[in-house]
Amino acid sequence: MADLTSNFVGIRSPNPFWLASAPPTDKEYNVRRAFEAGWGGVVWKTLGEDGPPVVNVNGPRYGAIWGADRRLLGLNNIELITDRPLEVNLREIKAVKRDYPDRAVVVSIMVPCEEAAWKAILPLVEETGADGIELNFGCPHGMSERGMGAAVGQVPEYIEMVARWCKQNTRMPVIVKLTPNITDVRKPARAAKAGGADAVSLINTISSITSVNLDTMSPEPSIDGKGSHGGYCGPAVKPIALNMVAEIARDPETADLPISGIGGVTTWRDAAEFLALGAGNVQVCTAAMTYGFKIVQEMISGLSQWMDEKGHATVADIVGRAVPNVTDWQYLNLNYVTKARINQDECIKCGRCYIACEDTSHQAITMSPDRLFEVQDDECVACNLCVEVCPVEGCITMEAMTPGTVDPRTGRVVQKDYANWTTHPNNPATVKAAE
C-alpha cells in the first residue's frame, strides 16, 4: 500500500492534503470536523494584530462562475482575514493542536509591514504549539489597500525583509504565501528564499470581478449597490497555479525551495499534478466549500490507488517528477508530428469537429453526405482543437507519426525527416550553442 505520510519542511501529517487558510479554517469547530473527516493538516485562517477589530461585510461575500451544468468553476470572495478576537483564535489553535498532535496546524499571519508588529505576534502563535506559520502576502482585496497582503507580495524587497524578521524571531518553519497578481512569480519566490523562508505556498487568489448585475449596474457580490474586486479561486485557476508552481520548481535559484501547491485542487488527480510539478503537498479550499470536508476521503483513496498502480511507494516519489519535462517553447521538438484520428464507432455525428476545423482552423476534416467525418492528413496541423470540442471522450485521438511517414492518399511526407532534432541546425538550442 502507498504511504501517504507527508513531511513538509519538518511538519508531519498523515497525508499531503491540507485545508488552506480560508473560511473553512476560521474556528475550532470547523477544524475539528475537518480532522475527523481525514484532512492531514490545516492552515488556520489569517490572524491579524491585537488591535481594532477587523470588520467584514454583512452582505454577500461571494460571487461565482458556473459551467453549463451549474457546476461551480470559480469563486470570488471579498471576505477579509479573521474577524474573531486574536486571543480566541490562539486559545482554539492550542486546543486543537493538543487534541490532534499528528495533524499539521499552520497559522496564517498578516500584520502591518513593521518589524515590531511581527515580533509581537510571533511568540503568541508559537506558544500555541502550532507547527509553523504562513505569511499571507497574497490577499488581493481589503487588506492590500491597507498596505498588507498582496501589497507586500508584489514587492520582493518587502518579502525578503519580513521573512528575515520572522526567521530571526521564531523557531517555527516559515512559509511565504505568494500572490499570483504579479508578472514573474520567480522574483518573489527568490526573495522569500533570500529572506530565509523554509518554503513558499501558492497561489493565493487572483484579483477579479466575476460578473456585473445588469439591473443594478453593480459588480457581484453587490453591497448596497456597490461592488469591489475580490479574490478568485476554484477549478478555473488551476492552470495558472500549476504554471506558477512549475516556474518556481524549475528555476535554478529556487529549485530546492519546498512548495505547498494551492489553486483549484478538487480531485486526487489535481493533487497528483501539483506534486508532479514540484509541490510537496497541496492546500484545498473551494472544493471543501463546495462539497464538504469528506471530499478528502475521495482524494486520499484516489491518490493511494493511483500510486499503487504506478508503483509509487511514497509521496516523495512523485514530487517533481514532471519538472524536467517542462521547458520553454523554443526547445520543443519540431520534428514531432501527430495527426487526428476519428473513431467512427464512437462518433455520434454531431459535427462539432468539422465546423470547428472548417470555420476556425485548417479545413482538415471532411464531411460526407451521410455525415461521415474524416481527417485529411495533408491539411491537419495537429492543433488538437477537434479533440477538445468533441463531446465524446476518446472518440478523437492524436496519433504520432514516425519520421518519413507518407500519406498513402497524397504521397506527401507528413513527418519531416530530421535525423536528430537535438542536434539539428534549426533547433534554437543548437543555434545558441553555435553562437
Catalytically active residues are 139
Residue 304 grid coordinates: 493511494
Alpha-carbon gap, residue 415 to 412, rounded angstroms:
9
Q: Are 244 and 188 within 8 A, CB to CB?
A: no
Q: Which helix (H) or strand (E) holds 164?
A: helix 156-169
Q: Is 433 exposed, middle or buried (0-12, 13-18, 19+ CB in 10 A)?
A: exposed
CB 96 within 8 A of CB 90: no
Within 10 Å of residue 366's Cβ, how many Cβ atoms? 14
CB neighbour list of residue 29: distance below 8 Å, 6 or more residues apart: none
Grid cell at residue 360: 476556425
How far out from the chain centre does Cα 98 lie? 31
**Which three cell numbers mark 218?**
453593480
Closest CA to 76 of 191, 277, 221, 256: 221
Which residues fall within 8 angstroms of residue 149, CB to CB, at 6 or more apart? 110, 136, 137, 138, 139, 140, 142, 143, 179
Cell numbers 492518399: residue: 409
Q: Which residues pair with 398 in a beta bridge?
A: 340
What are the CA-CA distances from residue 116 to residues 124, 158, 220, 348, 364 (Å)?
13, 15, 38, 67, 66
Under DSSP, the state recorded for 74 is E
Alpha carbons 390 and 316: distance in angstroms, whole number? 36
Helix (H) or strand (E) run with residue 217 in it: none
Phi, psi of 306 (to 5 degrees): -65, -40
